Amino acid sequence: MRIELVKRPERSALFAALSPFIALGLTLIAGAIMFSLLGKNPVEALYYYFIDPLREVWSLHELAVKAAPLILIAVGLSICYLSNNWNIGAEGQFIVGAIVGSILPVMFPDFQSWIVLPLMLLMGIVGGAAYGAIPAYLKVRFNTNEILTSLMLVYVAQLFLDWMVRGPWRNPAGMNFPETRTFSAAATLPEIWSASGRANWGFVFAIVAAIAMWFMLSRTLKGFEVLVLGQSPRAGRFAGFSQSRMVFFAFLVSGGLAGLAGISEVSGAIGQLRPTISPGYGFAAIIVAFLGRLNPLGIIAAGLVLALSYLGGEAAQISIGVSDKVVRAFQGMLLFFVLACDTLILYRIRFVGSSAAKTVEGTQNA
Amino acid sequence: MDTTPLANGPNLLEVRGLTKIFGTLKACDQVDLTIAKGEIHALLGENGAGKSTLVKMLFGSLEPNAGEIGWNGKTVNITSPGVAKKLGIGMVFQHFSLFEALTAAENIALSLADDTPISTIAAKARALSYSYGLPLDPDSLVGDLSVGERQRIEIIRCLLQTPELIILDEPTSVLTPQEADKLFETLERLRAEGKSILYISHRLDEVRRLCDRATIMRHGKVVGHCDPRQETPASLARLMVGTDVKNAERTTASVRGQELLSICGMSRKPAGPFSMPLKNIWLEVAGGEVIGIAGVAGNGQGELFEAISGEALQDSADAIRIRGQAAGRMGISARRLLGAAFVPEERLGHGAAPRMRLSENLLLSRHTTDGKAFVGTAGLVKSGAIQKAAQRIIQAMDVRKSAPDPEAAALSGGNLQKFIIGRELDRNPAVMVVNQPTWGVDAGAAARIRQALIELARNGSAVLVISQDLDELFEISDSIAVMHNGELSKPIPIAEATLERIGLLMGGAEPGHLDHEKEVA
Q: How far apart are CA A276 and CA B461, in angstroms?
A: 66
Cβ of A220 within 8 Å of Cβ of B331? The answer is: no
Contact A238 B365 (CB under 8 A): yes
Q: How far apart are CA A342 and CA A17, in angstroms?
A: 10
Which range (A112-121, B174-183, B353-362, B431-440) has the least confidence?
B174-183
Question: Residue A296 pLDDT > 70, yes or no?
Answer: yes
Q: How far apart are CA B151 and CA B129, in angstroms?
A: 12
**Class of the domain covering B11-241:** alpha beta
CA distance B519 to chain A (A): 31
Give the Cα separation of B352 and B356 in Å (integer): 8
* Residue A353: pLDDT band with limits 50, 70, 90: low
Give the number of other Cβ atoms within 10 Å of residue A189's Cβ: 23
With beta carbons under 8 A apart, name residues in chain A contacting B86. 359
CB contact under 8 A, B381 and A365: no
Residue A268 covered by a domain:
yes
In this predicted structure, the answer to whether residue A210 has a pLDDT above a threshold of 80 is: yes
- Name the amino acid, one letter, at A188: T
Using DSSP, state whether A102 is helix, strand or coil.
coil
pLDDT, mean of residues A306-332: 86
Total domains present in chain A: 1
Neighbours of B503 (CB within 10 A): 17
Over the stretch B60-71, which tens digit does the pLDDT of each residue have? 888 888 898 999
Contact B239, B219 (CB under 8 A): no
Residue A133 has pLDDT above 80, yes or no: yes
CA–CA distance, B13 with B215 (Å, rounded to integer): 13
Cα–Cα distance between A293 and A302 in angstroms, integer?
Answer: 9
pLDDT in tens, A171-194: 988 888 999 999 999 999 999 888
A23-27, A32-36, A281-285, B245-249: which range is least confident on average? Answer: B245-249
C-alpha B491/C-alpha B482 separation (Å) is 7
Nearest residue in chain A measured CA to CA from B378:
A220
SS3 (DSSP) at B98: coil
Which range among A15-24, A28-37, A229-238 shows the weakest confidence by mean pLDDT? A15-24
Using a CB-CB distance cutoff of 8 angstroms, which residues of chain A are in contact with residue B311?
Answer: 237-238
B2-35 burial string, b = 16+ CB within 10 Å, else e? eeebeeeeebbbbbeebbbeeeeebbbbebbbbb
- The answer to whether B281 and B464 have CB atoms below 8 angstroms apart is no
- Specify if A60 maps to a domain: yes
**C-beta separation of B453 from B432 below 8 A:** yes
B484 beta partners: B487
Q: What residues of B are in contact with residue A222 (Cβ under 8 Å)?
A: 379
A366, part of any domain: no
Q: Please tell me the least confidently modeled range out of A72-86, A87-101, B6-20.
A: B6-20
Give the residue, B504 or B301, on which the prediction is more confident.
B301
Same fold, B11-241 and B247-339+430-521: yes
Report the pLDDT value the prediction gives residue B504, as an integer from 0 to 100.
Answer: 77
pLDDT of A32? 92
Span B461-470, mean pLDDT? 90
Mean pLDDT of B267-275: 78
CB atoms B375 and A221 under 8 Å: yes
Residues of A with a Cβ under 8 Å from any B Cβ are 4, 9-11, 219-222, 224, 227-228, 231-232, 234-240, 242, 352-353, 355-356, 359-366
Q: Which domain CATH number covers A337?
A: 1.10.3470
Per the document, the length of chain B is 521
Q: For residue B520, what pLDDT band results from cuts at 50, 70 and 90?
A: very low
Is the pLDDT score of B516 beyond 60? no
Give the start-to-end residue ranges of the domains of chain B: 11-241, 247-339+430-521, 349-428
Give A33: exposed, middle or buried? Use CB within 10 Å, 0-12, 13-18, 19+: exposed
pLDDT value of residue A110: 92
**Cβ separation of B354 and A4 shorter than 8 Å?**
no
Mutate: best of B21, B79, B97, B338, partner A, most A CBs <10 A:
B79
Decide: helix, strand or coil at residue B423.
helix
Query: Any residues with CB less than 8 A from the CB of A178 and at least 6 apart, and which?
Result: A162, A165, A166, A170, A274, A275
Residue type, B475: E
Please answer yes or no on whether A359 and B381 come within 8 Å at the CB atom: no
**Do A356 and B82 lie within an 8 Å CB cutoff?**
yes
User: Whose CA is closest to B168, among B28, B42, B346, B12?
Assistant: B42
CB contact (8 A) between residue B381 and residue A220: yes
Q: How big is chain A, counted in residues?
A: 366
Which of B59, B311, B336 shows the shortest C-beta gap to A237?
A: B311
* CA–CA distance, A221 with B380 (Å, rounded to integer): 6
Measure in Å the smallest separation between the Cα of B433 and chain A Cα atoms: 13
Nearest CA to A281 among A224, A349, A331?
A331
**Mean pLDDT of all residues belonging to chain A:** 90
**B80, B95, B380: residue with CB nearest A366:** B95
Look at residue B173 in the predicted model and tell me its pLDDT: 65
CB distance A147 to A88 below 8 Å: yes
A282 burial level (CB within 10 Å; 0-12, 13-18, 19+): buried
CB contact under 8 A, A235 and B410: no
- In angstroms, rounded to a whole number, what is the distance separating the alpha carbons of residues B45 and A291? 45
The CATH number of the structural domain formed by B247-339+430-521 is 3.40.50.300
Q: Do B353 and A231 touch (CB under 8 A)?
A: yes
Contact A353 B353 (CB under 8 A): no
> Taking CB atoms and an 8 Å cutoff, what residues of chain B touch A231?
353-356
Side chain identity, residue A35:
F
In a domain, A273, yes or no: yes
Provide, as residue numbers in chain A, all residues whose Cβ is less than 8 Å from the Cβ of B91. Answer: 364
Residue of B nearest to A215 (CA): B380
Contacts of A366 in chain B (CB under 8 A): 52, 56, 61, 93-95, 169
Determine the residue type at B262: S
**If you average pLDDT over each of B77-91, B195-209, B384-398, B504-518, which comes out highest?**
B384-398
Percent of chain B with pLDDT over 90: 33
Sign of torsion over alpha carbons B5, B11, B17, B21:
negative
Residue of A227, A240, A365 with shortest CB distance to B331: A240
Q: Could you say which of B52, B333, B364 has the minimum Cβ distance to residue A235?
A: B364
Distance CA A313, CA A302 (A): 17
Q: Whole domain around residue A85: which residue ranges?
A: 2-352
pLDDT band, very low/low/confident/very high, at A363 (cuts 50, 70, 90): very low
Say if residue A284's pLDDT is above 60: yes
Chain B residues whose CB is inside 8 A of the A365 CB are: 61, 97
Tell me the shortest Cα–Cα distance from A362 to chain B, in angstroms: 5
Of residues A1 and B4, more confidently modeled: A1
- Spell A243-281 as b/e; 16+ CB within 10 A means b: beebbbbbbbbbbbbbbbbbbbbbbbbbbbbeeebbeeb
* Per-residue confidence (pLDDT) for residue A253, from 0 to 100: 97
List pLDDT tens digits, range B39-61: 999 998 876 678 888 988 998 88
Residue A256 lies in a domain: yes
Q: Which of these, A181, A365, A175, A189, lies nearest to A267 by C-alpha position?
A: A189
The answer to whether residue A306 sits within a structural domain is yes
In B287-413, beta strands by DSSP E: 290-294, 320-322, 325-326, 340-343
Q: Which residues in chain B are closer than 8 Å to A363, comparing Cβ atoms?
A: 97
pLDDT tens string B200-242: 876 777 888 889 899 988 878 888 888 888 888 777 777 776 6
Percent of chain A with pLDDT over 90: 68
Residues of chain B neighbouring A4 (CB-CB closer than 8 A): 80
Taking CA atoms, what residue in B is nearest to A243? B311
Cross-chain CB nearest to B61 (options A356, A362, A365):
A365
- Report, as an integer, the average pLDDT of A6-21: 82
Shortest CB distance from A234 goes to which of B81, B333, B349?
A: B349
Sign, CA dihedral B341-B343-B344-B345, equals: negative
Please tell me the distance in Å from B227's CA to the nearest CA on chain A.
Answer: 28
Q: Which residues contact B158 (CB under 8 A, 6 or more apart)?
A: B90, B91, B92, B166
End-to-end CA distance of chain B: 42
User: Beta strands B40-45 and B196-200: pairing type?
Assistant: parallel
- A221: nearest CA in chain B? B379
pLDDT confidence of residue A48: 87
Residue A300 domain-assigned (yes or no): yes
Residues of B whose CB is below 8 A from A235? 349-353, 364
Nearest CA to CA, how far is B75 from chain A (Å)? 15
Looking at every residue in chain B, the average pLDDT score rounds to 84
Q: What are phi and psi of B25, to 5 degrees?
A: -90, 125
